[in-house]
Structure 1
């Protein structure tokens, strides 16, 4: 059961680890992405994004208790903010609105998943340990 919980958390974190590493490897592209969304100073937002994506994922995957909950909460908060900035379906119409609404709702599901991870991690020491990979 421990391996199954860890694999579920890994599935939630996969896109964040990939994105964080891609931004770290190509920092100029990460800066350009922040500029595209009007975030200034772009380099600071790019660095913060990398830190949250990679740091939050490490905590969700390898920490227990409050630290795992902190990582999950950081990724949930980041996802909510990024989704509002990146998928403003309410300003669109037609197929563009349809695609952005779908992406918005999918990201809302990720937020819910991270919320569950945080709640499980905070339940009790036994619950936190049951979500940690076996050694």
Structure 2
């Protein structure tokens, strides 16, 4: 299957509206979580401290600002490659901090491993977005 086989579908998939929607959906996990961090600031701050990130309020504020800023750069396609790289490193770094499945057993290991695998897929999507950015 090539572009010549489905020209209308290819054109629609590469329209600016569809690409904008795709960038919004790709970054949804980041900006929606940042909004939740704001709404439940103390809860998120305590959770970060449980992972050894102290002071929790500072890490919470920093990650909130970081996720919103990087998401905006991708959605607006403004130096998206910088945001894609930064978010990929951020997501990769969360695996040993919050999803270290190799140090767990049973259901906890299963859940942490699934999160780690999902994170790897998200990194793949981010890299594709970087390749398609203007």
TM-score norm. by structure 2 comes to 0.81
TM-superposition CA deviations, 1:3-56 (whole Å, max 9, x none): 222222211111111110111233222211211211112222111110111111
Match of 2:120 among 103, 108, 127: 108
Aligned length: 120
**Which position in structure 2 is the counterpart of 1:8?**
22
- Where structure 1 has 5 or more consecutive residues not aligned to the other structure, the ranges are 122-127, 129-135
Residue 96 of structure 2 aligns to a residue whose secondary structure is helix
Superposition pairs of residues 115-126 of structure 1, within 5 angstroms: 115-121=127-133
Match of 1:56 among 61, 70, 73: 70
Q: Which moved more, 1:75-84 or 1:47-56?
A: 75-84
TM-superposition CA deviations, 1:32-86 (whole Å, max 9, x none): 121121111222211111011111101110133xx21111122111111122211
- Where structure 2 has 5 or more consecutive residues not aligned to the other structure, the ranges are 1-14
Q: CA RMSD in A?
A: 1.4
CA contact (8 A) 1:56 1:75 kept: yes
Runs of 4+ in 1 over 6 A off after TM superposition: none
Higher relative contact order (CA 8 A, sep 6+): 1
Residue 20 of structure 2 aligns to a residue whose secondary structure is helix
TM-score norm. by structure 1 comes to 0.81
